[in-house]
């Protein structure tokens, strides 16, 4: 997240770019150069639209031509069939794009990663054939000899430059706003670790849909203006693979996930390709494709995230690393310890919970009653189903039998972010950090679910960091933390929305003796503050010291529950951990 000053700097830069383009349009006398300038601006807008979804959230789309083409056809058909002027049709394209995006997003966001990208590829391809079948192989925008301006037909090509520039400036401002809002943080969190974002209370589906709809609206609007400039619309020219590829390549080249990347990419690659095509197209056929290919290869080798990030890295390395000034932490918000309930009510109740993965019964008839306030341990050998149990409680998995109740209300069927909203926090067996964000930003993501506004979120985050005694590392990038610091950061993130129940998955794993004491202290403090803690652990030794109650899981079944001293001596527990042979040895030794 940027400071206000940084945001303003970008605003000034946008103004600067606009002024530069206007001057360029005035200086370039040739209609050809003005046409190329218009095309640079339009392709930049498409690439920025792609960036809004794919650059920020990491959900790569290979199908943005679908929106571009729908926009182009909306304007063309509007003018041909309804005599609708593009001045009206182009804003309408935004609605067309958003609706198309919603329709596409519903089924496609069930997929992730490569599958999502491939599925997105299908949409423009299918739409291309639909439009061919509909008989729209070649549409030309009718020439309006009278009242041309009313139909966005100008003899001076510079007006098109201005129109495209207007669209570019609007898109840049939209991108800037998104980048510096909760929207942008949510998308970044999704990009860096989607399950963590879900568990921290981010409604990932909603943010992804919003991003796609915004992206589709902008892309369709640009496509509409493109139709006005080109006059001829064919399915191949607006729904073709090359259109989607261009949106991607420009952003990847220029700097994916950045404000300026797409514009840099468009400003370099579009004139380069056109210039090469002009000079060498007939002598070296296909030169444009070759140039694009070489550009991609060079970028992958030399600047994998794009020109913009590379340049930024270079510039920031040159400056001496300023010492990380510890933030002035405000007074921590004290959590009043919750009084123990008069009747020992159970905060979490599982009855007969079971789940299978194919032929493997991972959990089988698990009954669990976690009393309110206190430390409850879940222990068991590898593969017992402990993390699966947490995933079921958390909402990542759906049990196929049994019920789960939290504070008296059923919990099944809720998505992880909804479970988080109910008041359950979660940490993971392998820490799920947002590696490129700072520690403070990592924790702020967890605060969104409970905070009224961004300022409150930041305050709550600072308080949580203070609670786990990690305030001095607030500005460090999460990717560079030690295991102990990562565990504490994850604890803080789960803590910040004041949960009533914390699910800690092997929080003590990987810690040395000194680190262990620190974390144990934090966990005990949570219990003292009234939060119920359910903790999974491997090692008997640590657990026996820490918890009030115990459950032992083996092969998906609960084989013992109760106070630590009793459980440790339970025969079946010893068998599960040490084996029958040792049971005999113990008995012989006891004699």
Partner 1 sequence: MTHKTLTRRSVAKGLALTAGALAMPAISARAQVQSVKMAMVAPLSGPWARQGQLLRMGAEMAIDDINTAGGIKSLGGAKFELVVADAGDSTEKAKNAAQRLLADQPDLIGGFGAWLSSFTLSVTEVTERAQLPWLTLSYSDAITNRGFKFIFQTSPTADHQAAETIPKALDLAQTATGKRPRTVGLIMDNTASPVSFAKPLRDGGFEKAGLKPVVDEVYTPPLSDATPLVEKVRSAKPDFLLLLTSAMPDCKQVLEKLDEFKLARGKLPLVGNGAPFGAPELLKTIDAELLEGLLFSVANWPLKGQEDFIERFKKRTGEPWLTQDGLCGYGHTQILKAALEAAGAAAKLKVADAIRAMDLTTGPAAQCFPGPIKFDDKGRRIDVPMIFAQWQKGVPLSVYPTDRALAKPFWPSV
For residues 348 and 406, the answer to whether their CB atoms sit within 8 Å is yes
With respect to partner 1, which residue has the nearer C-beta, 42 or 503?
42
Q: Of 459, 539, 448, 30, nearest to 278 (Cα)?
A: 30
With respect to partner 1, which residue has the nearer C-beta, 215 or 288?
288
How many angstroms separate the CA atoms of 392 and 395, rounded?
5
How many angstroms separate the CA atoms of 392 and 389, rounded?
5
- Say how far residue 121 (Cα) sits from the centre of its chain: 20
With respect to partner 1, which residue has the nearer C-beta, 231 or 582?
231
Least distance (Å) from partner 1 to the CB of residue 171?
21
For 28, phi then psi, to 5°, come to: -75, 110
With respect to partner 1, which residue has the nearer C-beta, 35 or 540?
35
* Number of residues that make up the chain: 591
For residues 361 and 354, the answer to whether their CB atoms sit within 8 Å is yes
Least distance (Å) from partner 1 to the CB of residue 261?
23
Q: Which residues lie closer than 8 Å to 588 by C-beta, 6 or more apart?
A: none
Start-end of H helices in 379-510: 386-394, 416-422, 439-447, 454-467, 483-495
With respect to partner 1, which residue has the nearer C-beta, 68 or 406?
68
With respect to partner 1, which residue has the nearer C-beta, 207 or 226?
226
With respect to partner 1, which residue has the nearer C-beta, 202 or 238?
238
Name all contacts of 264-268 with Cβ < 8 Å and 24+ positions apart: 264/306, 264/307, 264/308, 265/44, 265/47, 265/306, 265/307, 266/40, 266/41, 266/43, 266/44, 266/47, 267/40, 267/44, 268/307
With respect to partner 1, which residue has the nearer C-beta, 122 or 397?
122
Least distance (Å) from partner 1 to the CB of residue 185?
38
Least distance (Å) from partner 1 to the CB of residue 45?
15
Instruction: Give me the half-sphere count of Cα atoms (radius 13 Å) on the Cβ side of residue 264.
Output: 19
With respect to partner 1, which residue has the nearer C-beta, 13 or 80?
80
How many angstroms separate the CA atoms of 235 and 223, rounded?
12
Least distance (Å) from partner 1 to the CB of residue 155?
7
Start-end of H helices in 303-453: 307-318, 386-394, 416-422, 439-447
Q: Of 180, 186, 231, nearest to 59 (Cα)?
A: 186
Q: Which residues bind partner 1 (CB under 8 A)?
A: 30-33, 35-36, 39, 129, 132-133, 135, 137-140, 142-143, 145, 155, 230-232, 234, 236-237, 240, 242, 274, 277-278, 281-282, 284-288
Least distance (Å) from partner 1 to the CB of residue 283?
9
Least distance (Å) from partner 1 to the CB of residue 231?
4
Least distance (Å) from partner 1 to the CB of residue 65?
13
Least distance (Å) from partner 1 to the CB of residue 107?
24
- Say how far residue 170 (Cα) sits from the centre of its chain: 24
With respect to partner 1, which residue has the nearer C-beta, 237 or 475?
237
Helix (H/G/I), strand (E/B), else coil: 132: helix
How many angstroms separate the CA atoms of 244 and 64, rounded?
5
With respect to partner 1, which residue has the nearer C-beta, 39 or 258?
39
Least distance (Å) from partner 1 to the CB of residue 245?
13
With respect to partner 1, which residue has the nearer C-beta, 77 or 200?
77
Least distance (Å) from partner 1 to the CB of residue 121?
17
For residues 41 and 17, the answer to whether their CB atoms sit within 8 Å is no
Packing angle between helix 439-447 and helix 483-495, nearest 10 degrees? 20
How many angstroms separate the CA atoms of 476 and 440, rounded?
8
With respect to partner 1, which residue has the nearer C-beta, 137 or 482?
137
For residues 340 and 400, the answer to whether their CB atoms sit within 8 Å is no
What would the DSSP string read from start to end of 415-434? -HHHHHHHTEEE--SS----
Which letter, b or e, does each residue of 445-478 get, where b requires 16 or more Cβ atoms within 10 Å of its Cβ? bbbbbbbeebeebbbbbbbbbbbbebbebbebbb
Least distance (Å) from partner 1 to the CB of residue 146?
12
With respect to partner 1, which residue has the nearer C-beta, 212 or 270?
270
For residues 545 and 568, the answer to whether their CB atoms sit within 8 Å is no
Least distance (Å) from partner 1 to the CB of residue 84?
18
Give the E-state strand segments of 458-567 in sequence order: 501-505, 532-537, 549-554, 557-562
Least distance (Å) from partner 1 to the CB of residue 139?
8
Give the E-state strand segments of 320-446 in sequence order: 346-357, 360-371, 374-379, 401-406, 409-410, 424-426
């Amino acid at each position: 997240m940027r400071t206000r000053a940084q945001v303003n700097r970008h605003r000034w830069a946008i103004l600067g770019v606009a002024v530069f383009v206007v001057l360029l349009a005035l200086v370039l006398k040739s209609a050809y150069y003005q046409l190329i300038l218009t095309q640079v601006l339009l392709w930049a807008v498409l690439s920025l639209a792609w960036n809004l979804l794919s650059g920020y959230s990491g959900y790569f789309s290979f199908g943005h031509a679908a929106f571009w083409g729908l926009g182009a056809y909306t304007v063309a058909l509007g003018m041909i069939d309804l005599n609708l002027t593009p001045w009206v049709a182009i804003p309408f394209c935004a609605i067309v794009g958003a609706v198309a995006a919603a329709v596409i997003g519903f089924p496609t966001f069930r997929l992730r990663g490569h599958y999502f990208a491939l599925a997105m590829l299908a949409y423009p391809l299918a739409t291309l054939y639909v439009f061919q079948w509909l008989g729209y192989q070649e549409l030309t925008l009718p020439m309006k000899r009278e009242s041309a301006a009313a139909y966005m037909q100008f003899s001076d090509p510079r007006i098109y430059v201005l129109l495209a520039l207007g669209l570019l400036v609007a898109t840049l401002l939209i991108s800037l706003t998104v980048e510096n809002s909760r929207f942008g943080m949510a998308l970044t969190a999704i990009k860096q670790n989607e399950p963590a974002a879900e568990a921290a209370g981010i409604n990932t589906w909603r943010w992804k849909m919003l991003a796609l709809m915004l992206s589709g609206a902008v892309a369709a609007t640009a496509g509409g203006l493109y139709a006005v400039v080109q006059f001829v619309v064919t399915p191949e020219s607006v729904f073709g693979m090359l259109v989607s590829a261009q949106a991607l390549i420009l952003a990847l080249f220029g700097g994916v996930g950045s404000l300026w990347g797409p514009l840099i990419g468009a400003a370099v690659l579009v004139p380069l390709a056109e210039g090469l095509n002009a000079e060498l197209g007939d002598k070296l056929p296909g030169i444009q494709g070759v140039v694009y290919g070489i550009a991609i290869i060079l970028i992958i080798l030399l600047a994998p995230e794009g020109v913009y990030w590379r340049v930024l890295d270079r510039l920031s390395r040159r400056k001496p690393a300023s010492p990380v000034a510890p933030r002035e932490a405000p007074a921590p918000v004290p959590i009043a310890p919750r009084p123990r309930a008069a009747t020992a009510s159970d905060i979490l109740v599982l009855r007969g919970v079971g789940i299978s993965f194919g032929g493997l019964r991972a959990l089988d008839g698990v009954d669990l009653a976690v009393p309110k306030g206190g430390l409850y341990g879940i222990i068991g050998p590898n593969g017992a189903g402990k993390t699966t149990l947490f995933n079921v409680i958390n909402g990542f998995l759906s049990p196929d039998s049994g019920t789960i109740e939290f504070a008296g209300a059923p919990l099944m069927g809720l998505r992880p972010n909804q479970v988080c909203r109910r008041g359950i926090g979660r940490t993971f067996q392998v820490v799920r950090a947002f590696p490129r964000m700072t520690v403070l930003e990592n924790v702020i993501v967890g605060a969104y679910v409970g905070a009224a506004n961004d300022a409150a979120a930041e305050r709550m985050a600072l308080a949580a960091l203070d609670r786990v005694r990690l305030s001095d590392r607030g500005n460090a990038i999460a990717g560079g933390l030690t295991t102990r610091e990562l565990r504490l950061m994850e604890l803080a993130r789960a803590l910040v929305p004041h949960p009533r129940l914390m699910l800690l998955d092997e929080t003590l794993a990987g810690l040395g003796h000194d680190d262990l004491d620190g974390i144990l202290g934090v966990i005990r403090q949570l219990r003292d503050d009234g939060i119920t803690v359910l903790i999974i652990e491997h090692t008997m030794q640590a657990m026996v010291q820490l918890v009030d109650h115990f459950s032992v899981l083996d092969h998906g079944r609960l084989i013992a529950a109760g106070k630590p001293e009793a459980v440790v001596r339970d025969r079946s527990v010893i068998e599960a951990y040490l084996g029958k042979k040792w049971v005999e040895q113990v008995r012989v030794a006891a004699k």
